[in-house]
C-alpha cells in the first residue's frame, strides 16, 4: 500500500472511531432524557458512519441558472441523464446520479445536480444550498463567463463550507480565443482574492464545454446538391474528469473522513447546546423550587437559631440536586466546600445570612409575646418573618444560580477565579424582582 493510501486509511479509521465514540456517549443521553430531542443529530452521526463504510463520495454542482450544471454532470457520466435546456430553471430540485469512472472500482461517486441558485426563492435556496453543500465532499461551481455579483456572493457562501471547490468555466466554445484568455485570467484572479484564499483549500479552475452548441455546416453532395446539417462537437470535459479523479485519488478517502468529522463536530455542538438548554430550564425550575421552600420554611419556623443550620442544609441540598442534574455529582464535602466558597466570596450572601439571624431574633421574640396572648405581637411577627423568609430564599436563589454556572462550566471557575465569577453572576441578578416575587409567594401561603 502506498504511503498516500495508508494515510487515507488512517484518516478514515480516525473518523470512524470518533463518530463511534460520539454515538456511545450521546445514545445513553437520549435514553436518560427523551426531552432532549437529539434524534436528528444522532441520525446524522449514524448516516456519516454508513457513508464512511460505503465509501461514497458526493460531488455537488452549484451555480446560477442555465450555466450548464446539469450538462457538466451529464458530461462527466458520459450520458445525457439529467435534463438540460435553454429555459431558465430546468432543474427544480436537487437530484443525484451515480458515476462510476472507468478503472475506479474502489470509490463510488454520487453527482448531485442542484437548481440555479438564483432560481428558487431566497430562504428555500439558501437552505437547499446549505444542506446539499454540507453533504458534499467536493463542490463544482459552474460559471459560463465573467461572473456577476450574485455569482460571487454564491461562491463566497459555498466557500464558507470549507469544502474543496473546483471552479468550472463552462461553455468555452462560445468565446473566441482572446476573450477566453481574458475571462480565464479574471476567474483565476478571483480565486486569489484574500477572502476566498482564506476559505478555499483547493483553488482550481477548469475550462469545459459540456454541451457545445451545434453548428450548422454546409454539405455538398457528389451530385452537386447542397444540404445544411447540424454538427455536434464532442464535449470537452476530459480535463475536469481528470482533475476530479486526481483530487479523489490523492485525497478522496481523506475528504470523506474530513467531511464526516466536520459534520460530526457540528452535530456534537448542537447536541451540547440542546443539553445545555434543557438543563438550563430544569435547573431554573429546581432553583426556584428550593428557593421558595427555603423562604417558606424560614418564614414559618418560629425558632431563630434553627434558621442558620436549616438554611445551610437547604442550600446544600440545592447544590447536590443541581450537581445531579448536570451529571456531575458532588460529594458532601465538595458541596460544603462550594457552599463556603460562595458564602465567603460574596458579601451580600453573608449579609443575607446575618440579616436572617437578626430578623430571626425579632421573630422569636415576637412569637414568644404572641404565644402569651398578645395579638399585636403576632401581627408584628408576620412582616418580619416574611422579610426574613424572602431574604433567606434570595440567598438560596443566589447559591443556586452560582452553582448552576459553576456546574455548566464543568466544575470550574474559569480563569477568572471564584470571587470575580460570583461577583459577575450576582450583578446580573435582579434582587428586587426576586425578593418581591418571594414575598408574594410567602404572603399567599401564610394568609
Ligand X SMILES: Nc1nc2c(ncn2[C@@H]2O[C@H](COP(=O)(O)OP(=O)(O)OP(=O)(O)O)[C@@H](O)[C@H]2O)c(=O)[nH]1
Binding site for Mg ion (CB under 5 A): 70, 90-91
Residue nearest to Mg ion (CB): 91
Candidate residues 129, 183, 210, 296; the one interacting with ligand X per rule CB under 6 A? 210
91 sits near ligand X (criterion: CB under 6 A): yes
145 sits near ligand X (criterion: CB under 6 A): no
Question: Which residue, 80 or 185, is less far from Mg ion as judged by CB?
Answer: 80
CA distances from 137 to 72, 155, 395 (A): 17, 16, 54
| Minimum gap (Å) between residue 64 Cβ and Mg ion | 11
Q: Cell 484568455 belongs to which residue?
A: 181
Question: Which residue, 67 or 439, is less far from Mg ion as judged by CB?
Answer: 67
Q: Cell 481528470 belongs to which residue?
A: 242
213 sits near ligand X (criterion: CB under 6 A): yes
Q: Which helix (H) or strand (E) holds 109?
A: strand 108-113
Residue 258 to residue 273: CA distance in whole angstroms:
23
Question: Which residue, 213 or 354, is less far from Mg ion as judged by CB?
Answer: 213
| Minimum gap (Å) between residue 65 Cβ and ligand X | 4
The residue count for binding ligand X (CB under 6 A) is 27
Local structure of residue 55 (DSSP, 8 states):
T
Burial class (CB in 10 A: 0-12, 13-18, 19+), 273: exposed
From the list 88, 96, 144, the residue with the least C-alpha distance to 116 is 88
What, of ligand X, Mg ion, none, does residue 211 touch, CB below 5 to 8 Å by kind?
ligand X
First to last CA, the chain: 83
What, of Mg ion, ligand X, none, does residue 66 touch, CB below 5 to 8 Å by kind?
ligand X
Considering only residues 304 through 363, tell me which ones interact with ligand X, judged by CB under 6 A. Answer: none
At 429 the three-state DSSP class reads coil
88 sits near ligand X (criterion: CB under 6 A): yes
Residue 292 to residue 299: CA distance in whole angstroms:
10
Candidate residues 26, 68, 258, 304; the one interacting with ligand X per rule CB under 6 A? 68
Binding positions for ligand X, rule: CB under 6 A: 63, 65-71, 84-86, 88-91, 115-116, 119, 170-171, 173-174, 209-213
Amino acid at each position: 500500500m502506498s504511503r498516500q493510501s495508508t494515510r487515507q486509511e488512517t484518516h478514515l479509521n480516525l473518523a470512524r472511531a470518533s463518530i463511534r465514540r460520539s454515538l456511545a456517549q450521546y445514545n445513553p443521553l437520549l435514553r436518560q432524557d427523551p426531552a432532549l430531542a437529539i434524534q436528528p443529530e444522532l441520525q446524522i452521526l449514524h448516516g456519516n458512519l454508513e457513508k464512511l463504510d460505503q465509501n461514497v463520495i458526493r460531488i455537488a454542482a452549484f451555480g446560477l441558472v442555465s450555466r450548464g450544471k446539469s450538462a457538466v454532470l451529464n458530461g462527466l457520466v458520459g450520458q445525457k441523464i439529467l435534463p438540460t435546456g435553454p429555459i431558465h430553471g430546468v432543474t427544480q430540485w436537487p437530484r443525484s446520479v451515480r458515476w462510476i469512472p472507468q478503472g475506479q472500482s474502489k470509490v463510488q461517486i454520487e453527482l448531485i445536480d442542484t437548481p440555479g441558485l438564483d432560481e428558487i426563492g431566497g430562504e428555500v435556496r439558501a437552505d437547499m444550498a446549505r444542506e446539499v453543500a454540507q453533504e458534499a465532499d467536493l463542490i463544482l461551481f459552474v460559471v459560463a463567463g465573467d461572473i456577476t455579483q450574485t455569482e460571487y456572493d454564491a461562491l463566497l457562501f459555498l466557500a464558507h463550507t470549507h469544502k474543496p471547490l473546483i471552479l468550472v468555466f463552462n461553455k468555452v466554445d462560445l468565446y473566441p480565443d482572446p476573450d477566453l484568455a481574458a475571462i480565464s485570467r479574471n476567474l483565476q484572479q478571483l480565486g486569489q482574492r484574500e477572502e476566498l484564499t482564506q476559505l478555499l483549500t483547493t483553488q482550481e479552475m477548469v475550462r469545459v464545454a459540456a454541451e457545445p452548441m451545434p453548428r450548422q455546416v454546409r454539405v455538398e453532395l457528389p451530385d452537386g446538391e447542397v444540404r445544411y446539417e447540424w454538427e455536434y462537437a464532442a464535449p470537452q470535459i476530459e480535463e475536469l474528469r481528470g482533475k476530479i479523479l486526481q483530487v479523489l485519488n490523492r485525497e478522496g478517502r481523506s475528504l470523506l473522513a474530513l467531511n464526516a468529522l466536520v459534520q460530526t463536530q457540528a452535530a456534537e455542538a448542537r447536541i451540547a447546546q440542546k443539553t445545555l438548554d434543557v438543563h438550563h430550564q430544569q435547573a431554573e425550575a429546581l432553583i426556584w423550587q428550593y428557593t421558595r421552600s427555603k423562604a417558606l420554611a424560614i418564614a414559618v419556623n418560629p425558632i431563630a437559631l434553627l434558621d442558620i443550620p436549616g438554611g445551610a442544609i437547604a442550600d446544600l441540598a440545592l447544590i447536590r440536586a443541581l450537581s445531579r442534574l448536570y451529571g456531575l455529582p458532588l460529594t458532601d464535602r465538595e458541596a460544603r466546600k462550594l457552599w463556603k466558597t460562595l458564602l465567603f466570596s460574596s458579601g451580600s450572601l453573608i449579609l443575607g445570612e446575618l440579616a436572617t439571624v437578626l430578623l430571626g431574633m425579632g421573630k422569636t421574640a415576637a412569637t414568644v409575646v404572641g404565644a402569651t396572648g398578645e395579638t399585636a405581637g403576632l401581627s408584628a411577627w408576620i412582616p418580619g418573618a416574611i422579610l426574613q423568609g424572602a431574604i433567606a430564599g434570595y440567598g438560596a436563589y443566589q447559591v443556586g444560580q452560582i452553582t448552576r454556572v459553576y456546574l455548566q462550566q464543568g466544575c470550574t471557575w474559569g480563569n477568572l477565579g471564584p470571587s470575580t465569577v460570583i461577583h459577575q453572576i450576582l450583578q446580573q441578578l435582579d434582587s428586587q424582582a426576586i425578593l418581591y416575587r418571594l414575598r408574594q409567594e410567602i404572603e399567599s401561603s401564610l394568609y
